Structure 1
């Protein structure tokens, strides 16, 4: 399964803690969303990422393209990513600038 990452899932520490391995990826871009910053309160996520603020996407058709990395995950790894992202984010299907289709995590209140 393809997952477009624009934030902490690109980080090697987060990948190792969440998936038990570093992931290979390719660059791509996403349109139709803008990046915002949110405060994280989940102690497990804080311990994994080391960051109290994370990026989140909200729908905005006029926003500039967002650069990120397309990661290839197994179904089990997608489930692990869902647990890591928690209730703050929702996974949605998107079309990327390359024409590939992938999942991406967006702010749950905007999905």
Structure 2
């Protein structure tokens, strides 16, 4: 089963229910080598779901001392595609390895 790392609005139950139709199960994990910034969301449906006009966004720093805590959720292949639809065009999905040693997908700034 694939994993999806959330460091922002995908942790909200409302967003999960409206995006996936269920509450996701996951565990806390840490991603190193990335910095957190903010991006303005222009999709009104995403703003409605999240209740926020500005969402966090990760950018590669290459510095292992930079790290982000979040939740590594277990998702289906279909849910990965649903997450792709939720995330703005300002994001791209890539695969990463987490402190736990698990692999999973993250959304980073384009």
Query: Which position in structure 1 is the counterpart of 2:105?
Result: 103
Runs of 4+ in 1 over 3 A off after TM superposition: none
What corresponds to 1:83 in structure 2?
85
Cα distance in structure 2, aligned partners of 1:42 and 1:88: 11
- Long gaps (5+) in structure 1: none
CA distance in 2 between counterparts of 1:7 and 1:86 reads 13
Give the Cα–Cα distance (whole angstroms) in 2 for the partners of residues 7 and 26 of structure 1. 14
Deviation at 1:88, TM superposition (A): 1.3
Uncovered stretches (5+) of structure 2, i.e. residues with no partner: none
Local SS of the residue matching 2:89: helix
Aligned length: 108
Distance 2:70 2:40 in 1: 21
- TM-score, normalised to structure 2, is 0.94
TM-score (norm 1): 0.94
The residue number in structure 1 matching 2:9 is 8
Q: Going by fraction, where is helix more abundant, 1 or 2?
A: 1
Q: CA RMSD in A?
A: 0.9
1:49: which partner in 2?
50
* Distance (whole Å) between structure 1 residues aligned to residue 35 and residue 88 of structure 2: 20
